[in-house]
A and B are shown apart, each in its own frame.
Chain A
Amino acid sequence: MRTFILPFILCASLAQAPVASAAELKPFTDSSRLVSIGGSLTEIVFALGEGERLVGRDQTATYPEAATALPDVGYARQLAPEGVLSLSPTALLVLEGSGPPEALEVLSQAGVEFQTVPESYSAEGVIEKITSVGQALDVAEKAQAYADEIQAQFDALKDASAAIETRKRVLFVLSVEGGKIQASGTGTAADGIIALAGAQNAIVEYSGYKALTEEAIIQAAPDAILMMDRGGDHAASDAELLAHPAIGLTPIAETKAIYRLDGAYLLNFGPRTSAAAAEVSGLLYGTTAQAQ
């Protein structure tokens, strides 16, 4: 009975709105009442000092503190048009992948201008988001200055990373349910942050997050595990992970290198990404974080 539903997920993304490159984003006619969909975009709006324009956010916007005080319009890929409209927004800034497209279309018919900011899990992606938001909010110069600042942090990170001799192999674990490990392959935010931290993803055989067999974990021989911090008793789950039959046969059994960071901080690819990557790098290589 339940499996028959799976398809419908997929149609949500069947006809995704075309994504403009940063250069194509133009200033909103009126961005005085802005709703931003995508935690990284909300962070950028606040970082640019334009937070007072925001009247709503989606549930991924958990930083900064002020963002959490805004009305939450729900899950970014299942927006309810009327809920968004109830905030009387004049403009809607959405991260690529938000939707569904029908909801965005209805919103635009209702007189809410929307623009889509491209998503990419790289330093360039972060810079592009910042300049895009700057253009859409008509604060391009301020955004450029801020982007330069962030770019400098990424440059420092890159320099430090170039000096690393042996790149550590990192396994990003999304979840451990009943001993089954869901890990990140390529093309994910986790893969992006591992690269920025000057390490290499231990799993490059597939893209996305999928369940790993025990033998693949042994084969991948990761030096460290990176995870999202979900709160709770970390020590116990570290013990649980180390007791996993496959992980027990990898270098992690000796190094006990299991690191947890806040999910949004680690994976949002926004203003804090250079800091997050530097922190991961510091954890992996024992040096102090390079970019602040």
Chain B
Amino acid sequence: MTFASETSRPAEAGDRSHLGRSAVAVLGVVLLLAMVLSLTTGASGASAWTILKGWLGMAQASELDAIRDHAVIYNIRLPRMIMGTLVGAALAVSGLLMQGLFRNPLADPGLVGVSAGASLGAVGIIVLGTTILAPLTALLGIYSLQLASFFGGLVTTFILYSVATRSGQTAIATMLLAGIAIAALAGAVTGVMVYVATDAQLRDLTFWGLGSLAGANWIKVAASGPIIIVALAVSGFLAKGLNAMTLGEATAAHLGVPVQRFKLLTIITVAAATGASVAVSGGIGFVGIVVPHLLRLIIGPDHRYLLPASALLGGAFLLLADAISRLVVAPAEIPIGIVTAVFGGPFFLWILLRRRSAFVW
């Protein structure tokens, strides 16, 4: 069932679903190419050929080079590629879920305070993790940052939810406004934590603020990967409900969507995906807004195709942005958030202007 397209534009439905399927297939190939690119380019000389030779056991480099190339491929590029793909997919899908849930093409986890809550959870662990929260970090180990981000996002979400829900009905406008207030509050508490941090930590602020995949390693992949993969898998079950929600909550309920439970599940999925991504890569902007928008323009509003397409394009977009961030000023790197903003910002403005002239919203 494709609620949105079949009810509002029945004549187009066949074309659109064909387009959707093709787009998913094409984007799958694009993502694969981006993964190959990510794995085979970098500041060091290690190339695709080196990898291939390594696999075939033909490597004849000096011992040091062999160790080095192995480390470059398996300890640097491979975890970075996996993390980039997952974080890109998580950011794009989170954006899409929020936009579907709030029926607002500008919605984004940042808008309703989920990102702010996630970062507050992380900052709490980081600043207090060696003192009053030490038993907690000892207990949770490598997962503490991701779990803290997830719970930060989740707690924020539940506060939001209870503020905005009256007798089983969630008022979207109240929720958006409450989200802004809670984001401000979480931001303020985060600011206090930052104030007690040391100077050296403060200097890193700018760099983290712009996001980076530079710290990728297997531990981070192991800590955030499962959370993101589960969130992406769950989002796959939300597509039909999101299609129904585009017609309004009442209509969705008539179409058999358990609206309250559905909203809750969507929000938890967004909290998990956002928390896990923010915890490993910092703040990477624009992916969640630009990727779903671009796809909606091309393949239409059917979430059954938008969801997988967003995940694939989000991953590919972030891998390409990361390749640029690694290569432009090599051997140093520019923060990836700069790259996504440089490409995403103007593109987003263009979408806004285009939409405005078409009176689409």
Contact = CB atoms under 8 A, between A and B. Distances in A.
A82 B326 contact: yes
Interface stretch (B19-27, B191-199, B249-257): B191-199
Contact of B145 (A3, A11, A82, A188): A11
28 contacts: A2-B209, A3-B187, A3-B190, A4-B110, A4-B116, A5-B208, A5-B211, A6-B194, A7-B119, A8-B122, A8-B283, A9-B197, A9-B205, A9-B207, A10-B126, A11-B122, A13-B200, A74-B329, A78-B207, A78-B212, A81-B75, A85-B43, A86-B331, A102-B215, A105-B217, A106-B71, A106-B75, A208-B202
A10 B197 contact: yes
B344 interface: no
Interface string A31-75: 000000000000000000000000010010000000000011111
B278 interface: yes
B300 interface: no
Nearest to B187: A3
Given A10-B197, A77-B204, A111-B71, A84 B215 contact: no
Given A4-B186, A80-B214, A105-B217, 19 more contacts: A3-B187, A4-B115, A4-B120, A5-B205, A5-B211, A6-B123, A10-B194, A80-B331, A82-B44, A83-B332, A86-B45, A87-B331, A97-B200, A102-B220, A106-B217, A109-B75, A110-B70, A110-B72, A188-B199
Contacts of B205: 5-6, 9
A15 B299 CA distance: 46
A10 B67 contact: no
A10 B75 contact: no
A1 B204 contact: no
A23 interface: no
A192 interface: no
Interface residues of A, number: 46
Contacts of A4: 110, 115-116, 118-120, 183, 186-187, 190, 278, 283
A45 to B, nearest CB: 18
Nearest to B65: A88
A6 B77 contact: no
A56 B332 CA distance: 11
Nearest to A71: B331
Nearest to B74: A109
Contacts of B111: 1
The 3 closest A-B pairs by CB, nearest first: A74-B332, A110-B71, A83-B331
A12 interface: yes
Contacts of B68: 85, 88, 110-111
A285 interface: no
B153 to A, nearest CB: 10
Interface string B70-87: 111001110000000000
A163 interface: no
A156 B212 CA distance: 47
Interface in B304-339: 326, 329-333
Interface of A: 1-14, 56, 59, 71-75, 77-88, 90, 97, 100, 102-103, 105-106, 109-111, 188, 208-209
Interface of B: 42-45, 64, 67-68, 70-72, 75-77, 110-111, 115-116, 118-120, 122-123, 126-127, 129-130, 145, 183, 186-187, 190-191, 193-194, 197-205, 207-212, 214-215, 217, 219-220, 278-279, 282-283, 285, 326, 329-333
A103 B283 CA distance: 19
Contacts of B204: 9-10, 12-13, 77-78
Given A9-B208, A86-B42, A111 B67 contact: yes
Contact of B283 (A2, A56, A84, A188): A2
Nearest to A112: B68
A247 B239 CA distance: 63
Contacts of A106: 71, 75-76, 217
Contacts of A208: 198-199, 202
Contacts of B212: 78
Contacts of A72: 331-332
A83 B43 contact: yes
Contacts of B115: 1, 4
A55 to B, nearest CB: 10
A78 to B, nearest CB: 5
B215 A103 contact: yes
Contacts of B197: 9-10
A100 B197 CA distance: 16
A103 B217 CA distance: 9
Contact of B72 (A6, A85, A188): A85
B193 to A, nearest CB: 8
Given A3-B187, A208-B198, A80 B332 contact: yes
A3, A4, A87, A208 — which one has the most chain B CB atoms within 10 A of its CB?
A4
Given A78-B212, A103-B215, A8 B282 contact: yes
A77 B200 contact: yes
Nearest to B197: A10
Contacts of B75: 81, 106, 109-110
Contacts of A81: 75-76, 214
A90 B63 CA distance: 13
Contacts of B191: 3, 6
Contacts of A103: 214-215
A79 B66 CA distance: 22
Contacts of B199: 188, 208-209
B228 to A, nearest CB: 17
A13 B127 CA distance: 10
Contacts of B203: 77
Nearest to A209: B199
